[in-house]
Structure 1
Amino acid sequence: MSFAPGIEHDEKNGDALSFGALRRDLRLTVEQELASTILSCTHEAVIITDASGSIISANAAFSRITGYSADDIRNQNMRVLQSGMHPKSFYEAMWNCLKANDCWHGEIWNRKKNGDIYPALLTINAVRSESGELTHYVGSSADLTPIKSSQRELERRAQHDDLTGLPNRRLLTSRLDQALARANAKQSTGAVIFVGLDRFKLVNDSLGHSAGDEVLIRAAERLSSFVRTSDMVARFGGDEFGLLCEGTPRSTLGDLVSRILDQLCQPYFLSGGRQVWLGASAGISLFPDDGRDAASLIQYADAALYHAKCAGKGTYRFFSTRLTEAANTRLSADLQLRQALAREEFILHYQPLVSMPGGKVTGLEALVRWKTANGKVVPPGDFIPAAEETGLIVPLGEWVLRTACRDMKELLAGGADLKTMAVNVSAQQLHHAGFVDTLQSILKEFDLNPSVVELEITEGTLMGQGKAPVAILHALKALGLRLAIDDFGTGYSSLAYLQKLPIDKLKIDRSFVSDLESGGAAQAIAAAIIGLGRSLRLEVLAEGVENRFQLDFLVNNGCREAQGYYFGLPIPKEALPALGGIKWRREATSTRRADPRPAAPYSKQEG
């Protein structure tokens, strides 16, 4: 018996089978097994139906998600999964799309075996034979429940205050826009009420931020108890809250606000048996009388609150278009600051920037002071806000830059071993037309190497401003300047945004450094910022170092630069030569040298 090459012979049936056919059959078997393995391992639910929609099989993920076993679902129609959440037209459109395109993809609500309804991302594909006849449908779906939950939580956090759980400014503004539309349509009225706690800063300063947080939570609860379900209470930040009251006539607002203030004046019982008393003030703007847009009404309520506080606190004021005491105060501040600039009453003090662990002073940060005509030294916290409000921060900032560069040039010429002069730059300066040109002119004026000048820009200045800050920073970097993000960790900058910035240094905000001894979140955040800087190849400096514990923690976690009262107070230029002998002070092994501490008061916000 002989066979042609490449042919096997089935003696029983007399059939000749080609090796090629056997290989094809084997390949199909392997592919089917592979497909079966993939279906059993995938996290997506997969079902296969016949042309009529009767389910033939389902994978393990389908059973896990829906609760139906393969036996439960076999021969059932896909309608068993319908949730009842969609109208008949939804399914008609789905099947029309399938008929036209052999595919449908979209979000759908399905029902599990236990009756629970869940969101799914579903794809249905039609399967046809070689002749084009419809034979099957294959549906694959992913359970969107975790994603939807995350989205809801993100939306909630974007619109609510983390501490109190109240809506935030963003959500109240959105609700106010809607309320204004309703008021316009119905010719009705409403009010925006700003409430601020009086003496709240004293609680934070004397009892700590945890006590302050407790007070804010209690105040939020008291405010919420006064409003109707149709109204809204929001926390705007700090110790300020906003209330939106629709349809409330002016005649009853005074009584409502008085009762709110009385309630907020009641004692606050805190953990540990502590008890504190605070006052509260309020400002009110009315719509449509005072304004027809949310931004104006919020601004006017804030102005009225300021007026109430100026009137002695513990009271409320309605917004008035008349020139208020607040406006007079702002005008007075504007005049005084302009006169101070003209009389050259501003001075600079310098705080050392210290490398660790060596303790060498490698740079200085320029800090502005106002030395009035009577010799009083005013700390920046008392005049910088007014300078920003009046716009005088721009010429003042230019004076600081010019003076710091002049002093740095003189120090370097005198042999000082310094590599950095750090200068704070405000948001108004950064966005002011001609800022880059001004800097270039100052550098040229003093023939100063740009690499020794480090501009410090707060994280908040860069956020929510689109692409403009990035472009400005690149222009500054092109001059050869160094750039640092100040108060890092207090804003909301993302890693993706951070990578776009041509920065050299991150400065850990002093609030995290001051809380290092309490452990927990502050230590984790500080260590994370140091690690982030290392990953992005950025220098990291810690602000506000005041004791050895903080210093050791930072050094042990890889921080290589710091500033703060532990190393020295800000000092005038005349005392700078003393910095040449400063060493890293070790409390246990060496005697500290006395710091040249000035007699004038200084803001603890610095360093």
Structure 2
Amino acid sequence: MATPRAMAATLSTSYLVGGIAGVLVVLGAGFHPALLALCVAALVGAAVLHRWGRCWPRVAFHVPLVVGSALVSCAVLVAPDPVSAVVAASVLSFLVLDAYLFFDRLLATAHALLALSGATAALVTRDGVELATVVGLDAVLIALGVVTSTLVARASSAERDPLTDLLNRRGLDLALHAEVAGLPASGGRLSVALLDLDHFEELNDSLGPEAGDRALRLVADTWRRALPPGAAVARVSGDEFAVLLPGMTGQQARSLVEGVRTAKPGPALSAGIAEYVLGDSSAQVVRRAERALFAAKSAGRDRCVLDGDETPDLVRDLAAALDAGELRTQFQPILQLGTGLVVGVEVLVRWHRPGHGPVPAQDLVAVAEEHGLVDRLGEAVLRSACTQLAELHASTGRRLRLGINVSGLELADPCYPDRVRAVLAETGWPASETVLEVTESVLDADSLAAVSALHSLRAVGVLVAIDDFGTGYSSLSRLDTLPADILKVDADFTATVTTAPRRAQMLRSIVGLAHALELDVVAEGVETAEQLELVRRVGCTYAQGWLAGRPVPLPELVAALDRARAV
């Protein structure tokens, strides 16, 4: 189906031809005010469509098609003679062509039948117009509609993906080129989003290609229904989709994509968005969207990144907070199940933004990742935690192993291992008491930089923990190939082990496999004594959760540990 720009150009030409044909009839048959008024209306309509039609949504073009049919029917009624009436009715051929070029077969047929019924009714009321002439004209217009519909269907099939019935790469390129070509003149907005299904290869490998095809069709149906009029979605490769969002800024597109991505059913996916900038070619817009998609995947997947976003106040405030050292750290205790003692902590960052209050940690990290501050944020948290724990050991002799979350973007930076080693040397904190916690998604086979960074740090004694294991696409078969020392079972998994016997058995199997691979196991999200007893019984090495303690500043945690020891 045509783009709004092509629709406006085609329909304005039809109006122009109809108006000129009417003027010629007036000139040849004498002055007829009513017919002349209809001609002027058609010419004005042509000018309006040419000037503003390219900015209209697709649905708006139903109106000029209906109005055009009405103008033709009126022209048939007021034509000065039978021949002029038939000539006026023949102008419907342009509108029938337009309908089948613009819309799907059902809507186009509805427009054609409406136009034919109006013109036919007007013709049969005219003296001197034979019924056979009317029937013949209708037959010609119907045949024209059938032929046009067939040709459009065959032409559009070359631009559509047979599995999902979305646009394919060729169809996307044509639609995007048409949109970009019209933007300098209209001054409109356009954003492009690229969507990539997370771990699609593993889904195909584990459940078969039929399951993969079902997932692709589900994604196609979900996005097709969720997008506003005028937007277009395409499948551009095996598990990659593209969305054209005319009239939307990058921020608006990000809000829409994030809303659909998180609220609708279907596989998890990563998204990269770019807004058209004056002077960009269609290829440049796509390249920037690809860059944003790569950033989303490098940051751990299952997220949305906007390229070229204007720096919001939140980002400026975060940069200032990093400069001023205003971010604070809290520590959540990790319990050794064999002894019942707190032997480690996980450090968590906290920021109370002036005038706004606490910023959720996940939002803080997401903003830092999107705006190039994640390296500074990660280094600041690591330095603060190492400094505090080193001072604690120096003053009390107490050693608590440090766990710290690492972003995929940090690991992708070739300088990351050097930064970690420099902080450890500066603070005097031992590498052997440092645990980098990473999600399995950032250690995919295609994340060579991340894997290389972890191997480099493990070589100097740093430990690696696979975080959030047991959710998403966690793969037991890859545990022996990942650079890991510790497995952290996700809190959502732990929460059900006392109520779902199969989950408890699965946890027992995971622990057994981890121990066979010489991996320690941390059960996250332990909140009840019953859960604590179960994870101890199945062989977990450590437990972490609100039962052992909530995240608090280090002095508060140490005071609580001293009180517990005194009791």
Q: What TM-score comes out, normalization by structure 2 length? A: 0.51
Report the CA distance between 1:373 and its aligned residue: 2.8
Report the CA distance between 1:515 and its aligned residue: 1.9
Among 242, 255, 274, the residue aligned to 1:297: 242
Report the CA distance between 1:461 and its aligned residue: 1.1
| 1:321 pairs with 2:321 | no
Work out the CA distance in 2 between the residues paired with 1:519 and 1:293. Answer: 37
Among 415, 422, 436, the residue aligned to 2:396: 415
RMSD: 4.6
Greater strand content: 1
Report the CA distance between 1:516 and its aligned residue: 2.0
Q: How does 1:465-544 map to 2 (within 5 A)?
A: 465-492=446-473, 494-495=475-476, 497-544=478-525
Partner of 1:380: 361
Partner of 2:269: none
C-alpha distance 419-184 of structure 1, shift in aligned 2 (>3 A): closer
Report the CA distance between 1:283 and its aligned residue: 8.6
Among 303, 306, 320, the residue aligned to 2:254: 306
Q: Which residue identity is paired with 1:480?
A: G
Whether the 8 Å contact between 1:459 and 1:491 is mirrored in structure 2 is no
Whether the 8 Å contact between 1:177 and 1:293 is mirrored in structure 2 is no
Report the CA distance between 1:390 and its aligned residue: 1.6
Partner of 2:143: none
Q: Which residue identity is paired with 2:254?
A: Y
Work out the CA distance in 2 between the residues paired with 1:572 and 1:480. Answer: 27
Whether the 8 Å contact between 2:347 and 2:385 is mirrored in structure 1 is yes
Report the CA distance between 1:530 and its aligned residue: 1.2
Work out the CA distance in 2 between the residues paired with 1:501 and 1:328. Answer: 35
Work out the CA distance in 1 between the residues paired with 2:175 and 2:310. Answer: 39
C-alpha distance 189-344 of structure 1, shift in aligned 2 (>3 A): same
Q: Which residue identity is paired with 1:565?
A: W
Report the CA distance between 1:408 and its aligned residue: 1.2
Partner of 2:539: 558
Report the CA distance between 1:359 and its aligned residue: 1.6
Q: How does 1:220-299 map to 2 (within 5 A)?
A: 233-235=217-219, 241-243=222-224, 260=225, 285-286=231-232, 297-298=242-243
Whether the 8 Å contact between 2:528 and 2:547 is mirrored in structure 1 is yes
Partner of 1:85: none
Work out the CA distance in 1 between the residues paired with 2:228 and 2:319. Answer: 32
Q: Which has the higher contact order (CA 8 A, sep 6+)?
A: 2
Work out the CA distance in 1 between the residues paired with 2:329 and 2:413. Answer: 23
Work out the CA distance in 1 between the residues paired with 2:497 and 2:258. Answer: 37
Work out the CA distance in 1 between the residues paired with 2:228 and 2:167. Answer: 23
Partner of 2:443: 462
Q: Which residue identity is paired with 1:306?
A: R
Partner of 1:363: 344
Partner of 2:325: 344
Report the CA distance between 1:419 and its aligned residue: 4.1
Partner of 1:270: none
Structure 1: state its 5+ residue gaps: 1-171, 197-231, 244-259, 262-280, 585-591, 594-607
Whether the 8 Å contact between 2:232 and 2:244 is mirrored in structure 1 is no
Report the CA distance between 1:522 and its aligned residue: 3.0
Structure 2: state its 5+ residue gaps: 1-160, 180-189, 196-215, 264-272, 279-305
Work out the CA distance in 1 between the residues paired with 2:473 and 2:389. Answer: 33
Partner of 1:568: 549
Work out the CA distance in 2 between the residues paired with 1:283 and 1:310. Answer: 18
Q: How does 1:164-175 map to 2 (within 5 A)?
A: none
For residues 182-226 of structure 1, what are the alpha-carbon distances to aligned partners after superposition, in whole Å with 9 as ceiling and x for unaligned?
A: 6769999999999x9xxxxxxxxxxxxxxxxxxxxxxxxxxxxxx
Work out the CA distance in 1 between the residues paired with 2:442 and 2:555. Answer: 33
Q: How does 1:75-224 map to 2 (within 5 A)?
A: 179-181=168-170
Identity of aligned residues (%): 29
Report the CA distance between 1:300 and its aligned residue: 5.6
Work out the CA distance in 2 between the residues paired with 1:481 and 1:184. Answer: 48
Greater helix content: 2
C-alpha distance 283-542 of structure 1, shift in aligned 2 (>3 A): farther
Work out the CA distance in 2 between the residues paired with 1:550 and 1:298. Answer: 45
Report the CA distance between 1:395 and its aligned residue: 0.8
Partner of 1:395: 376
Whether the 8 Å contact between 1:463 and 1:493 is mirrored in structure 2 is no
Work out the CA distance in 2 between the residues paired with 1:293 and 1:501. Answer: 27
Work out the CA distance in 2 between the residues paired with 1:319 and 1:467. Answer: 26
C-alpha distance 321-283 of structure 1, shift in aligned 2 (>3 A): farther
C-alpha distance 176-332 of structure 1, shift in aligned 2 (>3 A): farther
Q: What TM-score comes out, normalization by structure 1 length? A: 0.48
Work out the CA distance in 2 between the residues paired with 1:356 and 1:510. Answer: 17
Report the CA distance between 1:235 and its aligned residue: 3.3
Whether the 8 Å contact between 2:404 and 2:436 is mirrored in structure 1 is yes
Aligned length: 337
Q: Which residue identity is paired with 1:430?
A: L
Q: Which residue identity is paired with 1:235?
A: V
For residues 144-174 of structure 1, what are the alpha-carbon distances to aligned partners after superposition, in whole Å with 9 as ceiling and x for unaligned?
A: xxxxxxxxxxxxxxxxxxxxxxxxxxxx999
C-alpha distance 383-358 of structure 1, shift in aligned 2 (>3 A): same
Q: Which residue identity is paired with 2:242?
A: L
Whether the 8 Å contact between 1:193 and 1:285 is mirrored in structure 2 is no
Report the CA distance between 1:551 and its aligned residue: 0.9
Provide the secondary structure at the position in 1 that maps to 2:521. Answer: strand
Higher mean C-alpha deviation, range 462-471 or range 525-534: 462-471
Partner of 2:81: none
Work out the CA distance in 1 between the residues paired with 2:536 and 2:543. Answer: 10
Partner of 1:453: 434
C-alpha distance 186-488 of structure 1, shift in aligned 2 (>3 A): closer
Whether the 8 Å contact between 2:389 and 2:400 is mirrored in structure 1 is no
Whether the 8 Å contact between 1:193 and 1:283 is mirrored in structure 2 is no
